[in-house]
Amino acid sequence: MSADVQHTLASSATLEGTSLHTGAKVTLTLKPAPAGHGFKFRRIDLADQPFIDADADKVQTVERATTIAEGSVKVHTVEHVLSALTGMGVDNAIIEMDANEPPIGDGSSRPFVELIKKAGLAPQDAHRKIWEIREPIHQECGDGTLITIVPCKTFRVSVTNVGPEGRFTQYFSSEVTPELYEKEISPARTFVYYEDVKPLLEKGLIKGGSLENAVVVRGNEIMSKEALRFHNEFARHKALDLIGDLILSGKRILGHVIAVKPGHGPNSKLAATLKREYARMRSLAAPFVLPRGETVLDINDILKILPHRYPFLLVDRIIDMVGDTKCTGIKNVTINEPFFPGHFPGHPIMPGVLQLEAMAQVSSVLMLRKPENAGKIGYFMSADSVKWRRPVLPGDTLHIEAEVIKIRGSIGQTRCRCFVGGEVASEAELKFALVQQ
């Protein structure tokens, strides 16, 4: 398998079982997805079958498992299936479920590895984007958790597990490749200390837990029917969870992750830090040193799609496109903008309404690229949930994200955000009509 290109599943594959925390019966199906799609969960048990991105921004709770949510729609315990997909070299997949939590299987990620092998892998016509960590990233939590990522030419994890009173202190370290992941990491099962079982049950958790899908530790004894699969199985499972939680950053990395006493809370917090740092790095680098392949549509392409012209064209290029649902544009804000002389002279700030217009233009690019919309023009109908969070100044590079929420006939609705240096500058939900010019 080439590590240079993205991979998806060659076919769909289905797994049935019981969820760990809810105890519900669930059918999970892994499906292929286009290049640049990433991982998305889909709740097919709900009327509109909504998608939830596997994204650090969607993390809601992290007690004993990682839960992501989009509004009121949730998916619990996402880490095992995401770990398997990441470890086995999958970049893009749809994870369909008819309940709100994947099956627990035997408490490891091996059932998902077998599902991925059953589906097979297919290379895609797009380069895999991997972030090579160049400077250490460090995080500490008050409970003694330490996680550091240091530069490394491979992706490696080193984990120290520390149990109550120092029980079952274990260490595990390995490079993460599909071969090593399958053999050394995926068989490691989730575990729980006996004294934690009652409090978890009182909180409505582990309803589907049993000695068949978790290792239960009482004192210094193992209560589960099967002996430990490795002498350091707990540390290996912590590494499994860490891999699944960190991919919520949206980026594969080259780096050595060194974790002492990791958990879902610190893991997902670090994933959010990675996402924020990557966005900041790209903002500082743009527009001059981004690789040529980063430009999806240049200004000449945009001029063919949008009717806007100077001084009202507020998109310089499109740098990312995910199918027909999401794209990212760039606006390089310079002191030569025609609105600066009259907008707070002596303290120039890009007007918020023009940021809103930039969002609308990126949304229009997303919609008007579709063949059935060729020759049309987008008219504003409404802007909801509009927020301006920080000023945009001369010299800033505005990254404008637009994602389709809903399309009905000629009416489109998008969710948009503008970023500067990885920080949200403004956001809004837009509705517009596509009509013939």
In this structure, the answer to whether residues 326 and 180 fall within a common structural domain is: no
Residue 343 annotated as catalytic: yes
User: How far is residue 416's CA from residue 388's CA, in Å, rounded to a whole number?
Assistant: 12
Mean pLDDT of successive 10-residue segments in the chain (437 residues)?
84 92 86 94 94 94 83 92 97 96 92 97 89 90 90 95 87 97 96 75 61 77 84 96 96 95 94 89 49 64 88 91 84 92 88 94 86 79 92 93 86 91 90 83
Query: Helices marked H in 88-224 — which ranges?
Result: 110-119, 178-180, 194-202
pLDDT score at 157 = 98
Burial category of 176 from C-beta neighbours within 10 Å (exposed 0-12, middle 13-18, buried 19 and up): buried
Q: Which domain covers residue 375, as residue numbers?
A: 292-436
192-247 pLDDT tens trace:
887 766 666 666 656 666 666 778 888 878 877 788 999 999 999 999 999 999 99
251-291 pLDDT tens trace:
999 999 999 999 999 999 999 999 988 887 766 544 433 33
User: How far is residue 108's CA from residue 215's CA, in Å, rounded to a whole number?
Assistant: 10
In this structure, the answer to whether residues 316 and 222 fall within a common structural domain is: no
The CATH number covering residue 303 comes to 3.10.129.10
**Among the listed residues 262, 30, 25, the one whose alpha carbon sits nearest the alpha carbon of residue 139:** 262
Choose the catalytic residue: 37, 343, 347, 399.
343
> What rounded mean pLDDT belongs to the chain?
88
In this structure, the answer to whether residues 104 and 244 fall within a common structural domain is: yes
Number of domains in the chain: 2
Q: Which of 285, 307, 337 is the last residue of a domain?
A: 285
Q: Which of 263, 285, 307 is the last residue of a domain?
A: 285
In this structure, the answer to whether residues 312 and 348 fall within a common structural domain is: yes
DSSP string, 335-376: TT-TTGGGSSTTS----HHHHHHHHHHHHHHHHHTSGGGTTE
In this structure, the answer to whether residues 218 and 302 fall within a common structural domain is: no
Query: Helices marked H in 88-203 — which ranges?
Result: 110-119, 178-180, 194-202
pLDDT score at 119 = 97
In this structure, the answer to whether residues 377 and 247 fall within a common structural domain is: no
User: How far is residue 286's CA from residue 291's CA, in Å, rounded to a whole number?
Assistant: 10
In this structure, the answer to whether residues 64 and 185 fall within a common structural domain is: yes
Choose the catalytic residue: 37, 76, 264, 399.
264
In this structure, the answer to whether residues 220 and 315 fall within a common structural domain is: no
In this structure, the answer to whether residues 276 and 320 fall within a common structural domain is: no
The CATH number covering residue 133 comes to 3.30.230.20
Query: pTM of the entire structure?
Result: 0.68
Q: Which of 240, 269, 285 is the last residue of a domain?
A: 285
pLDDT score at 324 = 75
In this structure, the answer to whether residues 133 and 259 fall within a common structural domain is: yes
In this structure, the answer to whether residues 188 and 226 fall within a common structural domain is: yes
> Can you read off the two tokens belonging to residue 398?
């505005």
In this structure, the answer to whether residues 88 and 142 fall within a common structural domain is: yes
